Structure 1
Amino acid sequence: MATISATCYLFIILSWLCPTTLCGTVLEDLKNLHPPPEFNSTIMTNCLNNPSHRYCNSSPMNFDEIFKYTIVASHLCNESKNPNCIESFHKVDLRNRPNIASLYLSFEFFWRFCPLTILSIDVSNNSLKGNFPIDVLHCTQIHDLDLSINEFSGDIPIQSFSPLTNLTFLNLSYNCFSESEELSDSQFFKRFNSSSFLHSGALLDHRRFFTLKVVILLVGFPILVILMVIFLAWLCFQRPDFLPRKLQRRRTFTPAILSAATSGFSSRNLVGKSNVVHIYKGVLRDGTQVKIEMYWDEISRESYLNFVEECKVLSELDHKNLVRVLGWCKSRKFRAVITEWTREENVEMWLLSESSAPPPWSHRVKVLMGVVECMRYLQKEWPQVDYDLNTNSVLLTQDLEPLISRFKVLDHSTSTTRNICKFGVFMLGVILSRKGQEKFEGDADGFIKNMRRVDLDPEELQEMIDERMELSETSLHQAKQALSLGLMCIDQSGSEQPSLAFISNSIARAYKATLVLPSANHTRSHADNRFRGHKT
């Protein structure tokens, strides 16, 4: 604004333009008035005499805006009741002036050129709306700023206050600014304090948050508890494998667990199929590989209860030479038995394989020893469990451990005599050559019947032994004795059949002998009479 000390010309202009009875509104003045002659030169002279005026620092100088600024400054000085308005004025006081406050705030050019003498700006209690009036912050020299009791909204421009180093009083209370967590933690807030922002909307309302927490606690917590109960119930009844091991139900599987283990019963996990049973390979959540036999036949409730009781018994069996039954499952559509996953190679495939060398005698003895040890375990611990000992039903692990895979629970104890006879047939199947077995075609009963009728001499026995084995003299002797033992086992008359303990001890001694690796010229030992005098 031009100063009187520089020239009185501008004062004469303003007096002529705005006499004591003010000439209309500010807007009308700005619309109708134009800079008088020599206005530009007067402003330039003022800037030479006093370059501290803000408009002197603008480049290029916009004389039309500077002229408008002088008009607005003259009006605002009078509206704010400042003495000596022509020279300078120290405050902008528009509080309780809602009709004109918004008008003066809209003159961006005034705040850009505002006099350095202004130290206080007060536009409180005007119900002003809109964003923060950031233009007033061009007056960087002010000490006081009061924007309280309005309806300003949006964010408070915290960074724009940095140049206002002289600002000591700020009042933004009773507005509608946006909440800002940054404001509470900033140096700007610490520079003033909470009294400058009372009910401004910018500070987090801790009472409101407390109320919200109470509502969440009273409403949300019960809902959370209900959801947790529902989730735990789902875990217990559908996916108990997610529960801690101590809380899991042993041996009982759910359809959801089996579905997850088989990738939704994917066809790529289907390893066998018939009209009644589907066999899947699956992986449980703990990484255990399993075989899942799913039966789709309809059974009565009584039959299902018998099925469950049988599964309970079989899942208690625990021997290295038994396929382990892990549990069972019942749904509306199927029932299932879950066992450990095993190789599909059985003893018969192992003996007849053409892709590898024929199994040596020591390996065959190891298989026989594993089977007879499992038989003794079942006879002692689970006499009601019946089992199948065919060479095509006994599986083999990578370590050549035999696994009895077919068994069931009977209402009574199994016949020891019958089990020994089954083992005899199995033993003969492991020792005899394919040619030797073909002499007695037919089922197992026919094989046993024919073998009993044959009176074999030593040469005939040797011809029946699998010729693919490279036997030393000692191994050949052991094989002949084992063949004789097998023939004794299939004798169900009781006169020749050995006991299971005797069979076990005999095969154990033979296996230990194979580990010694006897030389080829080893002669017959006292074992010639090993099978004499040990009858049941």
Structure 2
Amino acid sequence: MASLSTTFILLLVTVSASVSAALSASVIEDLKSLKPPHDFNTTILKNCQHNPSLRYCSSSPMDLDEIFKSTIVASHLCNESKNPNCVESFPKIDLQNDPKMVPLYLSFNFFWKYCPLSILAIDLSNNSLRSNFPVDVLQCTQIQALDMSHNNLFGDVPIESFSPLTNLTLLNLSYNHFSESKISDIPFFKRFNSSSFLHSGLLLDGKKFRIKAVLLLVGFPIFVILMVCCLGWLCFRRPDFLPRMLRPKNRFTPAMLKAATNGFSKKSLMGKSESVDIYLGTLRDGADVRIEIYRGERHPTLIDECKILVQLCHKNLVNVLGWCNNRRLKAIVTEWMEGENLEMWLMGSNITPWSHRLRILMGVVEGMCYLEEWPEVGYDLRTSSILLSNNLEARISRFKIRDQSSSRNRKMYKFGVLLLEMLVNRRPEEEFERGEAGFIEYIRMHYPGNLQKVIDQKMELTQNTFDQAKQAIGLGLMCTDASSNQQVSLGQVFDIMSRAYQSCRVLASHNHERLHSERGKGHRRMQSR
């Protein structure tokens, strides 16, 4: 080291001679076991008196072990530099092409802390170093040259740590992999030309910049086109993938219906006629729907009708959810009903009591009253078009917009036929030669005295319920009497059916209480025995 006393010089020569070979093998282990001689403190103090600028002189308190280890490493580097005056001075740390030793010396942070002032250049190039920037090296603030090129250094360059290096005139950080930053904008680094930072990531590479610019100019329009195509596909083919607020209301696409029916599979086909195929579909949100697909020529007012029907909302109407109006596919989508229709229910072998039939009729009447608010909406009252839920809630399912034949008298006539058909359980069009007219005439022949012959025995009527059924048949005949000048109104029908329904419920309640009372008495008699 510079200006060392003769005693200390001899000490370093002696120590360096004894550990030189060992340093090459395992410097770290040797440094751990080495301790400073007893007069080392005196030697250091004399050196500081002679040359106060030495770095360890400014440290307080002095760490003699670190200072001693630093002199050992300095001595070894002197020998490596092959400088005849290395004990007193070696101007350059040159570990170029010594990849095994460089990481070792970079780990001696105590050496860089007390870096000899005589060192003016550090060359650690071509060592394939793979680490962050060795910031401890920058503690040698007096250096004039620093070469870290041709390594694998990465991460950020410690820009602020370079500021104390006021004497630095030669810097080479080329051929590394630092994080990209425009280092030439930093005032300190403006003193160096671009050759100091070639292929280091610290300068914007013109070629890379051009590539990125081309990718941006080409890639961004392609990305926009793909996004537009994707949105177009969603909007026009699968709008059910869009957020609910962005979906077109009540409009279904062929792709949506195809997905809902598993490609219009045979398993999803529930019914088929000459002009309509009926499918059970499951929408993307999990809702089951009835899809009526119309083949051939469908009347051109389909969409206009659906725009009105989707506004209908009542518990006794089947809800129309929307439509599909495509050149290849025309369809109406309604909610799916799990139960059967009224015709199938009446034809079943199970007992179908009067109270259940009355509940169904009441639901039909309530649906008709709601549709009075929509005079442009006609409906078809047939046993096949009245759908039943699992709890026997009636739903009118067939509608026709602006049906000229759907006058109020005609609607009441159709309700009368439906009422009679439910009580008699006969098919007018199939069992009577004159259809509905023959069916009505058949009932008139037996009304009122011989109704036991025509009333459906599956109702199992009591005397009270028979009287109600008899009144209902009378109401049905009034509704179908075209010769009468005074046609029954829907309001009158509603009042009559409401009273009958309430009376039936009260009667059922009394029967239930009587049965419960009789069971209680029987239980008490059994206990008394």
Mark yes or no: TM-score above 0.5: yes
Structure 1 residues 337 and 150: alpha-carbon distance in aligned structure 2, compared to 1, 3 A threshold: same
Provide Cα deviations, 1:439-468, integer angstroms capped at 9, x if missing partner.
Answer: 996359524324325432545213322223
Tell me, yes or no, if structure 1 residue 452 matches structure 2 residue 441: yes
Q: Is the CA contact (8 Å cut-off) linking 2:341 and 2:384 kept in structure 1?
A: yes
Q: Structure 1: any 5+ residue segments left out of the alignment?
A: 6-45, 62-71, 95-100, 159-166, 185-191, 521-536
- State the 1:76 CA deviation: 4.6
Aligned partner of 1:442 in structure 2 is 431
Q: Following the alignment from structure 1 to structure 2, what is the Cα–Cα distance between the partners of residues 496 and 430?
A: 24
Aligned partner of 1:306 in structure 2 is 301
Aligned partner of 2:153 in structure 1 is 155
Equivalent position SS for 2:289: strand
Aligned partner of 1:431 in structure 2 is 423
Aligned partner of 1:348 in structure 2 is 343
Q: Following the alignment from structure 2 to structure 1, what is the Cα–Cα distance between the partners of residues 392 and 174?
A: 85
Aligned partner of 1:534 in structure 2 is none
Q: Following the alignment from structure 1 to structure 2, what is the Cα–Cα distance between the partners of residues 110 and 440?
A: 105
Tell me, yes or no, if structure 1 residue 132 matches structure 2 residue 129: yes
The TM-score, its normalising length taken from structure 1, stands at 0.63
Q: Is the CA contact (8 Å cut-off) linking 1:291 and 1:339 kept in structure 2?
A: yes
Q: Following the alignment from structure 1 to structure 2, what is the Cα–Cα distance between the partners of residues 476 and 327?
A: 44
Equivalent position SS for 1:383: coil
Matched letter for residue 366 of structure 1 = R
RMSD: 5.1
Q: Is the CA contact (8 Å cut-off) linking 1:148 and 1:175 kept in structure 2?
A: no
Tell me, yes or no, if structure 1 residue 239 matches structure 2 residue 238: yes
Matched letter for residue 175 of structure 2 = C
Equivalent of residue 481 in structure 1, options 433, 449, 471: 471
Q: Following the alignment from structure 1 to structure 2, what is the Cα–Cα distance between the partners of residues 112 and 400?
A: 89
The TM-score, its normalising length taken from structure 2, stands at 0.64
Tell me, yes or no, if structure 1 residue 84 matches structure 2 residue 85: yes
Matched letter for residue 293 of structure 2 = M
Q: Is the CA contact (8 Å cut-off) linking 1:179 and 1:201 kept in structure 2?
A: no
Aligned partner of 1:318 in structure 2 is 313
Tell me, yes or no, if structure 1 residue 501 matches structure 2 residue 500: no
Q: Following the alignment from structure 2 to structure 1, what is the Cα–Cα distance between the partners of residues 265 and 414?
A: 39
Equivalent of residue 358 in structure 2, options 365, 376, 386: 365
Q: Is the CA contact (8 Å cut-off) linking 1:172 and 1:200 kept in structure 2?
A: no
Equivalent position SS for 1:400: coil
Equivalent of residue 327 in structure 1, options 322, 337, 342: 322
- State the 1:313 CA deviation: 3.0
Matched letter for residue 465 of structure 2 = S
Q: Following the alignment from structure 2 to structure 1, what is the Cα–Cα distance between the partners of residues 365 and 198?
A: 89
Q: Following the alignment from structure 1 to structure 2, what is the Cα–Cα distance between the partners of residues 512 and 386?
A: 29
Q: Following the alignment from structure 1 to structure 2, what is the Cα–Cα distance between the partners of residues 110 and 339?
A: 79
Structure 1 residues 278 and 193: alpha-carbon distance in aligned structure 2, compared to 1, 3 A threshold: farther
Structure 1 residues 59 and 173: alpha-carbon distance in aligned structure 2, compared to 1, 3 A threshold: closer
Tell me, yes or no, if structure 1 residue 250 matches structure 2 residue 243: no
- State the 1:414 CA deviation: 1.4
Matched letter for residue 360 of structure 1 = P
- State the 1:311 CA deviation: 2.5
Aligned partner of 2:501 in structure 1 is 511
Structure 1 residues 501 and 346: alpha-carbon distance in aligned structure 2, compared to 1, 3 A threshold: same
Q: Following the alignment from structure 1 to structure 2, what is the Cα–Cα distance between the partners of residues 369 and 385?
A: 20
- State the 1:280 CA deviation: 2.4
Matched letter for residue 310 of structure 1 = E
| Count of aligned pairs | 427
Q: Is the CA contact (8 Å cut-off) linking 2:261 and 2:281 kept in structure 1?
A: yes
Provide Cα deviations, 1:233-290, integer angstroms capped at 9, x if missing partner.
Answer: 4433333344455544332222233234334445543333456543322233444321
Tell me, yes or no, if structure 1 residue 403 matches structure 2 residue 395: yes
Structure 1 residues 74 and 149: alpha-carbon distance in aligned structure 2, compared to 1, 3 A threshold: closer
Equivalent position SS for 2:435: helix
Q: Structure 2: any 5+ residue segments left out of the alignment?
A: 1-5, 7-11, 28-76, 157-164, 512-529
Equivalent position SS for 1:375: helix
Matched letter for residue 502 of structure 2 = K
Q: Following the alignment from structure 2 to structure 1, what is the Cα–Cα distance between the partners of residues 461 and 205?
A: 94
Structure 1 residues 296 and 348: alpha-carbon distance in aligned structure 2, compared to 1, 3 A threshold: closer
Structure 1 residues 255 and 130: alpha-carbon distance in aligned structure 2, compared to 1, 3 A threshold: farther
Q: Is the CA contact (8 Å cut-off) linking 1:351 and 1:359 kept in structure 2?
A: yes
Equivalent position SS for 2:366: helix
Structure 1 residues 502 and 366: alpha-carbon distance in aligned structure 2, compared to 1, 3 A threshold: same
Q: Is the CA contact (8 Å cut-off) linking 1:54 and 1:113 kept in structure 2?
A: no
Q: Following the alignment from structure 1 to structure 2, what is the Cα–Cα distance between the partners of residues 83 and 218?
A: 62
Tell me, yes or no, if structure 1 residue 374 matches structure 2 residue 367: yes
- State the 1:491 CA deviation: 2.0
Q: Following the alignment from structure 1 to structure 2, what is the Cα–Cα distance between the partners of residues 146 and 377?
A: 97
- State the 1:296 CA deviation: 3.5
Tell me, yes or no, if structure 1 residue 418 matches structure 2 residue 413: no
Aligned partner of 2:67 in structure 1 is none
- State the 1:152 CA deviation: 0.8
Equivalent of residue 393 in structure 1, options 385, 395, 398: 385
Q: Following the alignment from structure 1 to structure 2, what is the Cα–Cα distance between the partners of residues 107 and 311?
A: 82
Q: Is the CA contact (8 Å cut-off) linking 2:325 and 2:331 kept in structure 1?
A: yes
Equivalent position SS for 1:257: helix
Structure 1 residues 236 and 444: alpha-carbon distance in aligned structure 2, compared to 1, 3 A threshold: farther
Equivalent position SS for 2:277: strand
Matched letter for residue 457 of structure 2 = E
Superposed counterparts of 1:101-116, under 5 Å: 105-106=97-98
Structure 1 residues 268 and 411: alpha-carbon distance in aligned structure 2, compared to 1, 3 A threshold: closer
Matched letter for residue 448 of structure 1 = A
Structure 1 residues 444 and 321: alpha-carbon distance in aligned structure 2, compared to 1, 3 A threshold: farther
Equivalent of residue 56 in structure 1, options 17, 22, 28: 22
**Identity across the alignment (%):** 39
